[in-house]
Amino acid sequence: MSKFLDRAFTVALVSAALALPAIAGDSTRMKGVESASVPSGEGAGEHFGLGREATQEEIAAWNIDVRPDGEGLPEGSGTVARGEEIFTEQCAVCHGDFGEGRDRWPQLAGGFDTLTRERPVKTVGSYWPYLSTVYDYVHRAMPFGNSQSLSNDDVYALAAYILYLNDIETDEDFELSKKNFTTITMPNAGEFVADNRAEEQHYKDDRDPCMKDCKSGPVEVTMHAQVLDVTPDAGGEEGPGGGNVD
């Protein structure tokens, strides 16, 4: 099967395993070289002399991302106790004192063993695969409405506290730092799989779709949207939680 979905998800695997040809790093090497991974066309491989070199200070100011292997972690540390103070002050108003989530704001803790239930509760503890994402996301985008106001130590402390709220760390004196960061394994880390949609039965069949007398019996309505009555036009206010967009 050479369908695109196949190709899309194998990109990750293939590119991890094989060295792609040099993309453009060396323009002299690229000249006249035909490569499947470098699209041809006007300007491919060409240099235009546009832009200017970024300074190290500029890169440092924007390059705050952290990877699962710890690449990008800054120097610093923070304890569970310190994290609790910051969380109470800056986070609990939306996320609740115990990360339970107020109103419709995201729940950060709990929900263990709910992923196969009818209503899964996906939290940092029950769902997130990597602690690096906690550090990275809190640092870049929280508190909501006041992004990038937390120091590196604050973020270590908050990450430690979120681990504590999820019973991943049970010691109140636990201190998270750049040094011990990658020793933490999240409970759901191994539960993510590559995109294999193309292998689903309805695609694998590769059938010519039925055109005539495809089903027998009269059409029966199994569900009405109007019964749920949640479309804004219909005056409904509360969703039944049938799905969401996050």
Partner 1 sequence: MDSESTSGRDGTAKAKADHGGASRRSFLKSTLALGGAGLAGTAGIRAAQAAGDPLITEIQDWNRYLGVGVDAAPYGMPSEFEKDVVRRSVPWLTADATSSVNFTPLHALDGIITPNGLCFERHHGGVAVIPPQDHRLMIHGLVDKPLVFTMEDLQRFPRENRVYFLECAANSGMEWRGAQLNGCQYTHGMVHCVMYTGTPLKHLLNEAGVKTAGKWLLAEGADASTMTRSIPMEKALEDCMVVWKMNGEALRPEQGYPVRLVVPGWEGNMWVKWLRRLEVGDAPWEQREETSKYTDLLADGKARKFTWAMEVKSVITNPSPQAPITHGRGRTVITGLAWSGNGTIKRVDVSIDGGRNWQTARLDGPSLSKAVHRFYHDFDWDGSELYLQSRAMDEQGFVQPTKNELRAARGTNSIYHNNGIQTWYLKADGALENVEVS
CB of 33 to partner 1, least distance (A): 13
Instruction: Tell whether residue 31 is a contact of partner 1 (CB under 8 A).
Output: no
Considering only residues 90 to 109 of the shown chain, the ones binding partner 1 according to CB under 8 A are 94, 103-106
Alpha-carbon span 133 to 127, nearest angstrom: 12
- Which amino acid makes up residue 163? L
User: Is 149 an interacting residue with respect to partner 1 (CB under 8 A)?
Assistant: no
Residue of the chain from 33, 67, 93, 179 that contacts partner 1 (CB under 8 A): 67
**Long-range pairs for 136-143 at CB < 8 Å and ≥24 separation?**
136/64, 136/65, 136/66, 136/72, 139/64, 139/66, 140/64, 140/65, 142/91, 143/90, 143/91, 143/94
Any contact of residue 69 with partner 1 (CB under 8 A)?
yes
Q: Which stretch binds partner 1 (CB under 8 A): 81-89, 155-163, 177-185, 186-194?
A: 186-194
Cis peptide before 143 (omega within 30 of 0): yes
How far CA 19 is from CA of 13, 27, 173, 217, in Å, comes to 11, 18, 45, 56
79 versus 150: smaller Cβ distance to partner 1 = 150
For partner 1, which is the closer residue by CB, 170 or 192? 192
Torsion of CA 87, 167, 188, 241, to 10 degrees: -60
- Determine if 147 is a binding residue for partner 1 (CB under 8 A): yes
For the chain, what's the residue count?
A: 246
Establish if 16 lies at the interface with partner 1 (CB under 8 A). Answer: yes
Binding piece for partner 1, criterion CB under 8 A, among 81-89, 157-165, 170-178, 228-236: 228-236
Q: What is the 8-class DSSP label of residue 197?
A: G
Would you count residue 32 as binding partner 1 (CB under 8 A)? no
- CA pair distance 149, 158, nearest whole angstrom: 13
Residue count at the site for partner 1 (CB under 8 A)?
Answer: 117
Q: Indicate whether 151 belongs to the interface with partner 1 (CB under 8 A).
A: no
Binder among 32, 170, 183, 225 for partner 1 (CB under 8 A) = 225
For residues 42-61, which are near partner 1 according to CB under 8 A? 42-48, 50-54, 58-59
C-alpha 10: how far from chain center: 19
Cβ of 125: how many Cβ atoms within 10 Å? 23
What is the closest distance, in whole angstroms, from the C-beta atom of residue 173 to partner 1 in the complex? 28
| Closest separation in Å from C-beta 139 to partner 1 | 9
